[in-house]
């Protein structure tokens, strides 16, 4: 139980650190958590108690609002771009989660039904089996490599589709923000 709680804490730390930049980019320039205004202390009053007090939906919404603002798009244009941006964000998140799970094997954690995470779990289970054969390990490694390639291909396709909807300036903004590869 203690190990599961510590892994949950590490996962929360990794996620909060990866979203720290997003929160920073979601806040209007010149304002932060300590500044007066919409991102001032009242926003966090009574809720800012580390990762457990974070409202991830609110953070995601702020990220999306900041992206919309940086892209300088109309509401109609954003209606087309938003689902594509969210898809790329989701695929990136799943990929990062899978990498995290690889390091910690997800002991005692509820994991998403993600083929990459499932392949990593299967390999971890095989590694814990003292009677696992070389053939079993080779099969699990091959399955993991295929799942990783499929996830990367899916992410690249989503990024390519999103890139096709953008102007050059908008593409540069999303490259800077880490949503698109250079």
Q: How far apart are CA 137 and CA 128, in angstroms?
A: 11
Over residues 45-53, the mean pLDDT reads: 49
* pLDDT single digits (tens) 135-167: 999 999 999 999 999 999 999 999 999 999 999
Domain total for the chain?
Answer: 1
Per-residue model confidence (pLDDT) at position 165: 96
120 found inside a domain: yes
181 found inside a domain: no
54 found inside a domain: yes
182 found inside a domain: no
**DSSP code, position 28:** P
* pLDDT single digits (tens) 61-120: 999 999 999 999 999 999 999 999 999 998 998 888 776 766 665 555 555 678 888 888
For residue 26, how many C-alpha atoms fall within 13 Å in the half-sphere facing its CB? 18
Per-residue model confidence (pLDDT) at position 106: 53
78 found inside a domain: yes
Percent composition of the chain: helix, strand, coil (DSSP 3-state, to 5): 75, 0, 25
Contact 51, 12 (CB under 8 A): yes
Per-residue model confidence (pLDDT) at position 164: 95
Distance of alpha carbon 144 from its chain centroid, rounded? 20
Containing structural domain, residue 22: 2-176
Q: At what angle do helices 75-104 and 56-71 cross, to 10 degrees?
A: 130
Per-residue model confidence (pLDDT) at position 142: 97
């Amino acid at each position: 139980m203690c190990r599961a709680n510590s892994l949950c804490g590490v996962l929360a730390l990794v996620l909060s650190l990866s979203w720290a930049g997003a929160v920073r980019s979601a806040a209007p320039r010149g304002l932060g958590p300590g500044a007066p205004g919409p991102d001032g202390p009242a926003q966090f009053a009574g809720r800012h108690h580390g990762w457990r007090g974070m409202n991830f939906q609110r953070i995601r919404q702020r990220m999306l609002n900041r992206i919309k603002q940086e892209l300088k798009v109309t509401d109609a244009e954003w209606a087309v771009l938003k689902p594509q941006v969210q898809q790329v964000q989701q695929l990136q998140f799943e990929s990062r989660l899978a990498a995290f799970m690889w390091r910690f094997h997800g002991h005692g954690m509820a994991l998403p039904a993600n083929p990459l995470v499932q392949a990593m779990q299967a390999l971890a289970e095989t590694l814990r089996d003292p009677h696992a054969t070389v053939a079993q390990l080779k099969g699990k490694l091959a399955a993991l490599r295929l799942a990783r390639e499929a996830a990367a291909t899916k992410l690249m396709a989503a990024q390519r589709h999103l890139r096709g909807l953008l102007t050059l300036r908008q593409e540069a903004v999303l490259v800077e923000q880490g949503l698109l590869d250079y």
